[in-house]
């Protein structure tokens, strides 16, 4: 089987996964003493997870991001290398970006149920992330000039002009474009990203109203629906719903959507990575069933990639 190539631009976090324990038991509504154990520290984020998973599956993976030239930026780049990614398009520069996310598994003070506390941070522990996208006006053209071999797939999850410009150029060269919506708050940018993509995936939390897709008959849309499963629409077809794989005891639900994307892309590779116009609904159903099965497995492990 051909070893496919993918370039990925977007969210690359430094993930810190913590587990909060309560040595004196837990009482709802009370302030309970606790201790925290750090379970995992590694690259994460939507794009980061998808790239690392596909590298694990045997793809040639090229993350594309601009990191701060510091110990923090280097450790994120090193984590990508440890997962087998080719970091030739990972630039460590002054003024580069860095994004961190602390994920704390704990019990809810109100209900006692398992919950996940999320706190983002930037370089040197600051409260603010720094962007890792390339500037469209100068950095993107320079980057595109360095690409001598067109990737089979280009994946992006940020709505910004830089990734959209890369997507447009690579689509014209023949790449399959996969857009994973991380944030739809700027609807105009979201639609611009949709228009340059072949496959568009989003959650019902980010994009609850799917009526806009009727304007497009040349794309595959996938909407994840949490515990309800997911639905997809291929070309002019109708929405088709797939039930989730049942899971009794969920350990960690972070990374399930990323797992679906990575496994789905890999499954398309196994059937020759057809163009969207060549895909059948049966092929999409088959690939998504494998992907949702792996997403269910993902929930049984701490961290987005623990199931690997």
pLDDT one-digit tens code per residue, 25-55: 899 999 999 999 999 999 999 999 999 999 9
How far apart are the C-alpha atoms of 305 and 233, rounded to whole Å?
A: 28
Q: Is pLDDT of 277 > 90?
A: yes
Q: Which domain holds residue 76?
A: 5-298
Q: Name the token pair of 260.
A: 């679906």
What pLDDT is stored for residue 129 in this prediction? Answer: 82
221: CATH = 3.40.1190.20
More confident residue, 88 or 125: 88
Count of CB atoms within 10 A of residue 68's CB?
Answer: 21
C-alpha span between 194 and 212 (Å, rounded): 10
pLDDT of residue 95: 87
User: Could you tell me if residue 308 is inside a domain?
Assistant: no
Residue 55 is assigned to a structural domain of this protein: yes
Residue 303 lies inside a defined structural domain of this protein: no
Q: How many domains does the chain have?
A: 1
pLDDT for residue 219: 98
State pLDDT tens for residues 99-108: 999 999 999 9
């Amino acid at each position: 089987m051909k070893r496919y190539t993918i370039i990925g631009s977007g969210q690359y976090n430094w993930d810190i996964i913590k587990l909060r324990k309560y040595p004196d038991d837990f009482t709802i509504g009370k302030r309970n003493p606790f201790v925290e154990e750090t379970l995992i520290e590694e690259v994460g984020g939507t794009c980061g997870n998808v790239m690392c998973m596909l590298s694990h599956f045997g793809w040639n993976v090229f993350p594309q991001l601009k990191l701060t030239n510091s110990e923090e930026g280097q450790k994120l780049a090193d984590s990508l290398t440890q997962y087998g990614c080719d970091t030739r398009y990972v630039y460590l520069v002054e003024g580069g970006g860095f994004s961190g996310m602390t994920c704390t598994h704990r019990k809810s003070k109100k209900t006692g149920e398992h919950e996940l506390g999320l706190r983002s941070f930037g370089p040197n522990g600051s409260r603010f992330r720094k962007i890792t996208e390339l500037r469209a006006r100068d950095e993107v053209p320079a980057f595109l000039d360095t690409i001598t071999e067109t990737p089979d797939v280009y994946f992006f999850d940020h709505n910004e002009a830089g990734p959209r410009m890369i997507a447009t150029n690579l689509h014209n060269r023949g790449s399959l474009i996969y857009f994973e919506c991380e944030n739809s708050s700027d609807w105009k940018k979201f639609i611009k990203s949709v228009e340059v993509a072949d496959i568009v995936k989003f959650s019902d939390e980010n994009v609850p109203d799917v009526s806009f897709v009727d304007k497009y008959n040349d794309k595959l849309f996938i909407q994840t629906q949490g515990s309800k499963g997911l639905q997809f629409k291929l070309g002019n077809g109708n929405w088709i719903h797939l039930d989730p794989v049942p899971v009794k005891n969920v350990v960690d639900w972070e990374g399930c959507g990323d797992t679906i994307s990575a496994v789905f892309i890999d499954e398309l590779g196994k059937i020759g990575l057809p163009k969207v116009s060549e895909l059948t609904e049966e092929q999409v159903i088959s690939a998504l069933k494998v992907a949702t099965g792996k997403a269910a497995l993902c929930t049984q492990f701490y961290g987005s990639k623990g199931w690997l």
